[in-house]
Amino acid sequence: MLTKKTYLTHVRCLECGHSMSYQPELEHCSQCDSPWLDAQYDYAQVSQTWKNGISNNITSLWRYMDLLPPIPAEFIVSMGEGNTPLIRANKLESLFGHSCIYIKDERQMPTNSFKDRQASVAISVLNQQGIQECVLASAGNAAISYSAYTAWADIKLWAFATPLVLSKKVREIAIYGAEVITVSGTYDESKKAASDFAKEQAIHCDKGAKAIAGKESMKTIAFEIAEQLAYTQDKCMLWA
């Protein structure tokens, strides 16, 4: 059972340092208009709450909802994403002469991509706001994830892609009911086309890894690794 709980205290602009209260629709700094916003939490309180381990029995990334944007349970869109295995790579250890190598197998996600983490949190935030349509520019994997999660939430998705996106990925996006729009040019040009379309049609345009939901979702990989390694590592670097 998912329950509403978070220790998010405020949002800080990474450009000018301005602090703001968190709102689901917050996308830019109210002072300098920068999209680079960072969620801040009461980590001292979280450390006390988690001191004896995480008490809930949730098996998706929402196990870590204490350190995710606050979303009421009825709006959370989840298909069991997260909790992917950490596999010891013995042959790679021998090949590279390293004593310990693990592989975090994100292929086990609902659409076989780590982008499902981002989609789950981002689409939950849209669902919380009652948003019915969303625009996204993608190189492929994010659009597949978003198309699956928007379909689950009954949100219309407009996916902008370049001709470089593999045809099988385009088909998968379309199977979930999303509208796929191919833009001749680079990925940056497809992002501009998506942004322009969203403005013209007054539709929400997802900011991907720049958005609070996008950034916050990916850190759950580090939380899982920490638990899987029994908290023996004190640092973890992740891609987004």
Residue 211 has pLDDT above 60, yes or no: yes
Mean pLDDT, residues 212-216 taken together: 94
The pLDDT value recorded for residue 51 is 84
With 0-12 / 13-18 / 19 or more C-beta atoms within 10 angstroms meaning exposed / middle / buried, residue 178 is buried
Mention every residue, 6+ apart, whose C-beta is less than 8 A from residue 196: none
Residue with the larger pLDDT of the pair 224 and 233: 224
- The domain that holds 115 is classified in CATH as 3.40.50.1100
Q: Band of the pLDDT at 210, cuts 50, 70, 90?
A: confident
Residue with the larger pLDDT of the pair 113 and 53: 113
d(CA 61, CA 79): 10
Q: How far is CA 79 from CA 70, 110, 125, 234, in A?
A: 18, 7, 15, 30
Which pLDDT tens digit goes with each residue over 136-189?
Answer: 999 889 999 999 999 999 999 999 999 999 999 999 999 999 999 999 989 999
Mean pLDDT, residues 102-116 taken together: 95
- Give the number of other Cβ atoms within 10 Å of residue 100's Cβ: 9
Alpha helices in the chain (DSSP H): 43-49, 90-96, 115-129, 141-153, 167-175, 187-201, 212-218, 220-228
Q: Band of the pLDDT at 2, cuts 50, 70, 90?
A: low
Domain count for the chain, please give it: 1
Average pLDDT of the chain, as a whole number: 93
Q: Band of the pLDDT at 1, cuts 50, 70, 90?
A: very low
d(CA 106, CA 110): 9
Q: Band of the pLDDT at 240, cuts 50, 70, 90?
A: low
- Structure-token pair, residue 147: 């198309």
Residue 127 has pLDDT above 60, yes or no: yes
Please give the span between the terminal C-alpha atoms of the chain, in angstroms, as a whole number. Answer: 28
- pLDDT > 90 fraction of the chain, expressed in percent and rounded: 85
Q: Which domain does 42 fall in, by range? A: 1-240
Residue 55 has pLDDT above 90, yes or no: no
Scored b (16 or more CB within 10 A) or e, 59-93 reads ebbbbbbbbbbebeeebbbbeebbbbeeeeeeeee
